[in-house]
A = this chain, B = another copy of it.
Amino acid sequence: MTEKELPKPPYYAVIFTSQHTGQDEEGYENTGERMAALAETMPGFLGVVSTRNSEGFGITVSYWESEEAIRHWKANAEHTAARAQGRANWYEQFAVQVARVERAYGFTRSRRDD
């Protein structure tokens, strides 16, 4: 689900849900790629998943070791500038929830070669 395997809980998740305006898709995509690469370099970053449908409704969840790591990422100057662009151009609305992951589990389809 993410490039990196998540550790055992507890850890933190930032749930970002957004409705896009549809304006400046190229700028949005470029900045999104840059922010993903930048987040990877942040202390305490654990991974990110993101998806968006054809109507422009998206959900991104990023995972962090601590609330302190989340605050540090939020304070990053380039990230702060990107968020301002988001409010100015890309998002009709968004919501953010910061949550402490208490437990986690998963499923992977087993493969048979026969």
Contact = CB atoms under 8 A, between A and B. Distances in A.
Interface residues of A, number: 39
A93 interface: yes
A65 interface: no
9 contacts: A15-B15, A21-B109, A91-B107, A92-B108, A93-B106, A96-B106, A97-B101, A98-B101, A99-B99
A9 B52 CA distance: 26
Given A1-B94, A13-B97, 16 more contacts: A1-B19, A1-B95, A15-B61, A50-B59, A51-B52, A51-B59, A87-B109, A94-B106, A95-B105, A95-B106, A96-B104, A96-B105, A96-B106, A98-B101, A98-B103, A98-B104
Nearest to A55: B51
Contact of A53 (B13, B51, B102, B107): B51
